[in-house]
A and B are shown apart, each in its own frame.
Chain A
Amino acid sequence: MPTKRTTLKYLAATGLASAAGCATLGEAQAKVVVIGGGFGGATLARTLKQAAPTLQVTLIEANPVYNACPFSNLVIGTNRPLTAQQFRYQNIAAAGVEVITDRATDIDASSRTVSLASGDQLNYDRLVLAPGIELDFEAIPGYNRSATEAAPHAWQAGAQTTLLRDQIRAMREGGTVAMVVPDNPYRCPPGPYERASLIAHYLRVHNPRAKLLILDNKDNFSKKTLFMQAWADLFGGLIEWQGLSDGAAVAEIDTTSQTIYTDFDKVSYDVANIIPPQRAGRIAQLAGATDASGWCPIDAASFASTLLPNTYVIGDAAIANAMPKSAFAANAQAKNCAIQILRSLRDLSPLPSTMANTCYSLVNPDYAISVAGVYRPQQNRWQPIEGAGGTSPQDASIDQREREARYAEAWYDTVTQQVFG
């Protein structure tokens, strides 16, 4: 049972204690509906309810179990069980958030109504869209939804994660794993390279003659120098990376003959991990909250949709410019947006603030590198603050790499406990 002390600690943990003290104003009867219970939406619903207990906060999430993506690459490359990625919503419900397990199917901004697959309708005063991503199954010829069984994406964690793991474990000796990686922007910029590392970590021991080929639709990627150096040091020549200038742009995939056609070449594979291009979750598109890019434009400082009134967009679905699509950013954006929503319910203008992000990548379970950034809304864009942030140093000691691995774990445990615990 939560004591006063633990409540204080929770508020301290989420950083919204101060707002809780003044939650008696215009928002008393207001209704906020949040669509999507991932790192963005679940954080937002919970912190908003903590900050303003009289608010009616509803979280609509399609699945009863959330499969967290951060650390899911460890499930693929080590013995980490998928259950270490899984979280339920009972603690969020116990905190006073109305949790509805259903899919939002439509939004009518003029009547401020959300329709659910069950046929129910909900009204809102403020709506938050946090639906994450939709994979684009038209972008790569041959790679549609039914191809994901033969060639998993594993970019939305869950059954896809263990499918890819099992295919790699069952691969013939000396086989080839091919990874196809999209151009920016996409969820978790360093994620594909962390995955390549952890697959190589597995193969090095269990299938040492195997190869891992990365076909990348760009020439540069997050922490490239650090990854390349670590790959050379730890895995010899196991990982081969080819970028756009090497002709790696993928033109077509044939999962029957297990062939990937690039612009000038073709590659036969034993296991393929295809990470297709992405856009904002479908409900954001249906609602009319996306622009031609497929993502949701926002007023930078407040996360308010520039296309729909009374609507906010956070997490991967939002166009947050220099801020990457990460769980860390989604969590921080949610806390920021909660304050902006409370201010708007009190007829106060948004208050711009600094934001920061940190993404750790594991090269093996005891070796991590990080990239950090600090951002400000300037000219209505999230811009990096010059001279701040950057990657782990190239000449760091093995001891520092190991410390970063322990900090990465601590971050995951902390943030998942904060959101779902």
Chain B
Amino acid sequence: MTKLGIAALAATLWFPNAAYAQVSTPADARDADTLLIAPCTGCHTATSPLAGVYDYPPDELLALLRALKTGERSSTLMARLLSGYSDADLVRLSNALSTLAAPSDSYADHAN
């Protein structure tokens, strides 16, 4: 991740307590992304019958998350959850979720 990317990411976090870390290294940024998707992966895994978020390239996933958040695409639940996430969060979510499983071979599984 670039320095600029890290700064942008840092701006999306909040720091209620001085004892908490700021995102200042690539390792922090990776941890921050892993933390952000922790609740998502309770339902959305590579093998779950629920919508497989890993099946999408990041830009498609981002478009989908945005449409679910606004209600442009209807859902039973996702609009309620996504309304707790900023657009910057959605960018990070879509990148983190798609890059996790993306490595070449696992991707081919879902090509059809």
Contact = CB atoms under 8 A, between A and B. Distances in A.
Which of B28, B30, B36, B81 has most chain A Cβ within 10 Å?
B81
Interface string A404-419: 1001001101110110
Contacts of A387: 83-84
A14 interface: yes
Contacts of A390: 80
Contact of A356 (B28, B39, B101): B39
B54 A350 contact: no
Which of A354, A404, A418 has most chain B Cβ within 10 Å?
A354
Contacts of B37: 15
Interface residues of B, number: 47
Given A348-B21, A410-B43, A18 B33 contact: yes
Interface string B57-91: 00000000000000000001100110111000100
A403 B21 contact: no
A336 B35 contact: yes
Please give me the 10 A-B residue pairs with the lowest Cβ-Cβ distance, nearest first: A374-B84, A388-B84, A13-B45, A353-B35, A12-B101, A335-B38, A356-B39, A349-B21, A15-B41, A9-B46
A343 interface: yes
Contact of A351 (B20, B45, B80, B106): B20
B27 interface: yes
Contacts, number: 181
Contact of A355 (B15, B17, B39, B106): B39
Given A17-B100, A349-B20, A358 B43 contact: yes
A356 B19 CA distance: 23
B32 interface: yes
B31 A19 contact: yes
A345 interface: no
Interface of A: 4-5, 8-19, 21-22, 301, 328, 331-332, 335-336, 339, 342-343, 348-358, 370, 372-380, 385, 387-390, 392, 396, 400, 403-404, 407, 410-411, 413-415, 417-418
Given A332-B38, A380-B16, A13 B28 contact: no
B46 to A, nearest CB: 4
A301 B20 contact: yes
B111 interface: no
Contacts of A12: 41, 45-46, 54, 100-101, 106
B81 A389 contact: yes
29 contacts: A12-B100, A12-B101, A13-B46, A14-B45, A15-B100, A16-B34, A18-B31, A18-B34, A301-B16, A336-B38, A339-B34, A351-B35, A352-B15, A352-B16, A354-B84, A356-B81, A373-B84, A374-B83, A374-B84, A376-B14, A379-B16, A385-B84, A388-B80, A388-B84, A403-B76, A404-B77, A413-B49, A415-B43, A417-B47
A282 to B, nearest CB: 27
Contacts of B4: none
Given A13-B41, A349-B19, A356-B39, 5 more contacts: A15-B34, A15-B40, A339-B38, A353-B35, A379-B16
Contacts of B105: 4-5, 8
Contacts of A392: 76-77
A356 B84 contact: yes
Contact of B106 (A8, A353, A415): A8
A414 B31 contact: no
A300 to B, nearest CB: 8
Contact of A350 (B20, B40, B49, B80): B20
